[in-house]
Amino acid sequence: MPASRLGRTPLPGIGIRYDLTTREHRRLSVVAHRDGARTLSAYRSDDPDECALSLRLSSGEAEALIDALMPSHHSPTLLHTTDLGLVAERVLLSATSYWNGRLLGETRMRTETGVSIVAVLRRADAIPSPAPDFRLAGGDTLIVIGTREGVETAATILGRE
Strand partners, 125: 122
- Residue 124 has phi, psi (to 5 degrees) of -95, 5
The strand pairing partners of 71, in sequence order, are none
Question: How far is Cα 3 from Cα 75, in angstroms, rounded to an integer?
Answer: 18
The model's pTM is 0.53
pLDDT tens digit at each of 161 positions of the chain = 445 577 889 999 899 999 998 888 889 999 998 888 899 999 998 888 899 999 999 888 887 887 777 665 556 666 666 667 788 889 999 999 999 999 999 999 999 999 999 999 998 899 999 999 999 999 999 999 998 889 989 999 999 88
Closest CA to 150 of 120, 118, 109: 109
Distance of alpha carbon 97 from alpha carbon 107, whole angstroms = 12
Of the options 3.40.50.300, 3.30.200.20, 3.40.630.30, 3.30.70.1450, the CATH number for the domain spanning 86-159:
3.30.70.1450
User: What residue spans define the domains of the chain?
Assistant: 6-69, 86-159
Q: How many CB atoms lie within 10 A of CB 42?
A: 14
Determine the Cα–Cα distance for residues 80 and 39; give it in Å rounded to an integer: 26
